[in-house]
Chains A and B, each alone.
Chain A
């Protein structure tokens, strides 16, 4: 005996496929109600109708209609209106799934990281252009402590004369049209503004990374941790990658060149950005990056399975390992 049901009706059939009892939902179900029913059915729950029938026939084995092999010709079919609402419900379900996807930290992290990369490159271009331009007009203008501070001052000067008095330089011999000066000040202003935006984005990224990848962030710093996670297409996948892959993540071009032609394999990808590697002498970088990648792979597993995060103590141990590796070889290996 089987209890066969779909989202709106349920039947009990005997072993010959004869319907013994049936129950159909006759009231109104909104698309949202239907989505709830579909989702609860996906979790192997019974619909209210099926539940009612299962109390009447406790021996009937429940099967969802699309899983039941034999067709049941007399199954109570939904009405036309019900079918239309079912289609609406399916579209609603898809919409909800897409929305659910967007709230995932992996997706948020990817957007933040890519945005910060893009904005930073645009900001640097703008800043360079501005400094170059002003440097042409005033070869001797003394820049302030940082480029951003300098540009902030430039942006504050409405005319070329006010610039000259702020920085105590001679008015240029050739005429700089006011229009052009306005453009220059606006560009400087834009560069300063974008710098602030980049900082804000990175702050948000750091926060997300510290919370989503606590151990990897502690080990690599939050920004590099976020980059590794995004490059690996998500935290879960990062936790599944072998440490050899993590080590060369971001050096795909060199790596595949190595596979193709047998050129020396890359020793580090994005992981190079970590000061333990980039600030170490060249001849120990490969060793440190191999060790660090292995640690990242452990940390990623801790984060992905939400275990107990690493503490400063754990970091201390790894720092000592790095020191030890650096000390094994103070000088480069002699070339024979």
Chain B
């Protein structure tokens, strides 16, 4: 049974905690299995999946893999990733390490972790190395959504160290966190693509999330070495 259903332009994931909702999202049943609606206006991954030219499933981690999620926030997106990677009572044996710097966010995530085994919230600064002991070896899939200056530096730093070779990563880039101007936007994105390519990664796709999340870009990246 596939844990993700794509119906026209709506995404659904199998609810790992049937009967429970995380952020007031819609739920519905397909063939007596409860699904949760994945809101593209609240989750950049969902928005990216609706924008991509390729198979949207390629963006997602495989069930049972180890996932590193930087900037876990309030757990909106992470709950859907958990649906896919871990599933109910972690039957897939996945592992999600969610890092966030804000104690208030982590407080919410601790509640989420209680009902979703396999998800581990960690209070730490993504830029420092205090969380490095929490992951086993290198991770299969990585997502970064930190709205700070130097987002790309953090991403390249972390993923060259902690992402498995040929592992896939999604990097959400918030324009407003950097110095930018409307005119230089495209050259700026091009420059970033080149930097990613010269750091041992391949930039598969750059998705403009305008409409879902303005001035945000989602980079789909694979590690070469």
Contacts and interface: CB of A to CB of B under 8 A. Distances in A.
Interface stretch (B4-12, B115-123, B167-175, B214-222): B115-123
A302 to B, nearest CB: 28
A87 interface: yes
B185 interface: no
Contact of A91 (B121, B130, B132, B137): B121
A64 interface: yes
Interface string B152-170: 0000000000000000000
A108 to B, nearest CB: 14
Contacts of B118: 87
Most buried by A among B95, B132, B136: B136
Contact of A94 (B123, B132, B137): B123
Interface in A70-124: 71, 83, 87, 90-91, 94-95, 97-98, 101
Contacts of B135: 66
A83 B137 CA distance: 13
A212 interface: no
Q: Of B95, B122, B130, which is in contact with the most chain A CB atoms at under 10 Å from its CB?
A: B122
B95 to A, nearest CB: 7
Candidate in A64, A91, A97, A101 with the most chain B CB atoms within 10 angstroms: A91
Contacts of A38: 133
A83 B95 CA distance: 11
B133 A98 contact: no
Contacts of B113: 91
Interface string A1-32: 00000110000000000000000000000000
A98 B106 contact: yes
A87 B107 contact: no
A94 B133 contact: no
Contacts of A101: 103
A304 interface: no
A90 B136 contact: no
Interface string B98-120: 00000100110010010000101
A42 B130 CA distance: 8
A90 B134 contact: yes
Contacts of B107: 98
B136 A97 contact: no
Interface residues of B, number: 18
Nearest to A80: B93
B17 to A, nearest CB: 16
Given A90-B122, A94-B122, A98-B103, A66 B110 contact: no
Most interface-central of A38, A87, A94 (chain B CB within 10 A): A94
Contacts of A97: 103, 123
Given A7-B133, A66-B133, A97-B123, A87 B106 contact: no
Contact of B110 (A64, A87, A94): A94
A235 to B, nearest CB: 17
A67 B130 CA distance: 11
Question: Could you say which interface size class chain A belongs to?
Answer: 10 to 19
A3 B211 CA distance: 53
A294 interface: no
Contacts of A87: 95, 118, 120
Contacts of B132: 66-67
A6 B120 CA distance: 19
A127 B100 CA distance: 44
A291 interface: no
A204 to B, nearest CB: 22
Contacts of A95: 110
Nearest to B109: A94
Contacts of B106: 94, 98
A97 B103 CA distance: 9
Contacts of B121: 91, 94
Contacts of A94: 106, 110, 120-123
A284 interface: no
B133 A41 contact: yes
Interface in B124-155: 130, 132-137
A79 to B, nearest CB: 13
A286 B6 CA distance: 64
Contacts of B103: 97-98, 101
Interface of A: 6-7, 38, 41-42, 64, 66-67, 71, 83, 87, 90-91, 94-95, 97-98, 101
Given A87-B95, A90-B120, 17 more contacts: A7-B133, A38-B133, A42-B133, A67-B132, A87-B118, A87-B120, A90-B134, A91-B110, A91-B113, A91-B120, A94-B120, A94-B122, A94-B123, A98-B103, A98-B106, A98-B107, A98-B110
19 contacts: A7-B133, A38-B133, A41-B133, A42-B133, A66-B132, A67-B132, A83-B136, A87-B95, A90-B120, A90-B122, A91-B110, A91-B113, A91-B121, A94-B110, A94-B122, A94-B123, A98-B107, A98-B110, A101-B103
CB-CB nearest 6 A-B residue pairs = A66-B132, A90-B120, A97-B123, A101-B103, A94-B123, A98-B103
